[in-house]
Amino acid sequence: AMAGSGWARAVRGLLLDVSGVLYDSGADGGVPIAGSAEAVRRIKASGLKLQLCTNETQATRESFVRKLRAMGFDISVAEVTAPAPAACRLLKERGLRPHLLVHDGLVPEFAEVDTTNPNCVVLGDAAENFTYGNLNEAFRLLIGMEKPVLISLGKGRYYKETDGLKLDVGAYMKALEYACDVQAEVVGKPAKRFFESALAELGVPPEQAIMIGDDIVNDVGGAQQCGMRALQVRTGKYRPSDENHPEVKPDAYVNNLAEAVDIILQQL
């Protein structure tokens, strides 16, 4: 086995971040990261369990999976843990009626949810829908509530597309938090409950699972707080400064998913 690969022992399941690990998104649909589709095939052939744990909120899981399959990834909807379905469960449990500030592509995920006379705001990665007018409308609703409820589908700062870095939902979440003096509730990574539901779908306890992601805080830090091992790939939005992060130290750095899978499969 490779030196310093003790982190790879006694693994039964892998949680994979998607954007920046499997592919880089882009206006054209995006491009797979070299070796990642083959790595997914090798994970499945090895008998390890696999779950994608993504903060993707620009598309329904169905259309997201269609896109991944078209890129050569052998993935089913059941293998995707994403924030919108988790948010729908939370809204129903609490009798909340959301005003949605989300990407047009995500709206069908909320088809079963009552959105009349909203008593909360749900924020996703709305991309081009993050206009001043739309943010101001969400702001006015929140500031007018006796007890404002802001639910954010993730809190990432930015992500990488093929043409460069893009502002993510977290930046807009902070703007609304600041303007309304409210604390958002995050559904998605790094929320512990979200990782726990991904592990439950994986059917593996945290100490037998490894999370692989490109986001030092939301992927690596979030997973480690749940008792998982976590690797950072040097793909996606990874930047060399991540390796000096003051709080989060990954169990290992790997150049890409394919390298991580090589090391893990050698330990089986």
Tens of pLDDT, residues 56-77: 999 999 999 999 999 999 999 9
On the question of pLDDT at 245 being above 50, the answer is yes
Is 84-186 a CATH 3.40.50.1000 domain? yes
Provide the residue ranges of all domains of the chain, joining segments of one domain with +. 13-21+31-55+189-263, 84-186
Rg (CA), the chain: 18
On the question of pLDDT at 159 being above 60, the answer is yes
Q: What is the mean pLDDT of the chain?
A: 96
Start-to-end CA distance of the chain, whole Å, equals 10
Q: Which stretch of DSSP H or E encloses residue 231?
A: strand 229-233
On the question of pLDDT at 2 being above 80, the answer is no
Check if 13-21+31-55+189-263 and 84-186 are the same fold.
yes
Q: Collect all residues with Cβ–Cβ distance below 8 Å to 146 and sequence separation of at least 6.
A: none
On the question of pLDDT at 169 being above 90, the answer is yes
pLDDT above 70 coverage of the chain, percent: 99
Preceding peptide of 190 cis, ω within 30°: yes
Q: Residue 3: its pLDDT value, please?
A: 59
Q: What is the pTM of this model?
A: 0.96
Residue 120 pairs in a beta bridge with: 98
Cβ-based burial of 216 (10 A; exposed 0-12, middle 13-18, buried ≥19):
buried
Token pair of 25 as six digits = 């998104």
pLDDT above 90 coverage of the chain, percent: 97
Q: Residue 27: its pLDDT value, please?
A: 86
- Indicate the fold that domain 13-21+31-55+189-263 takes in CATH: Rossmann fold (3.40.50)
On the question of pLDDT at 227 being above 80, the answer is yes
Q: Is 110 helix (H, G, I), strand (E, B) or coil?
A: helix
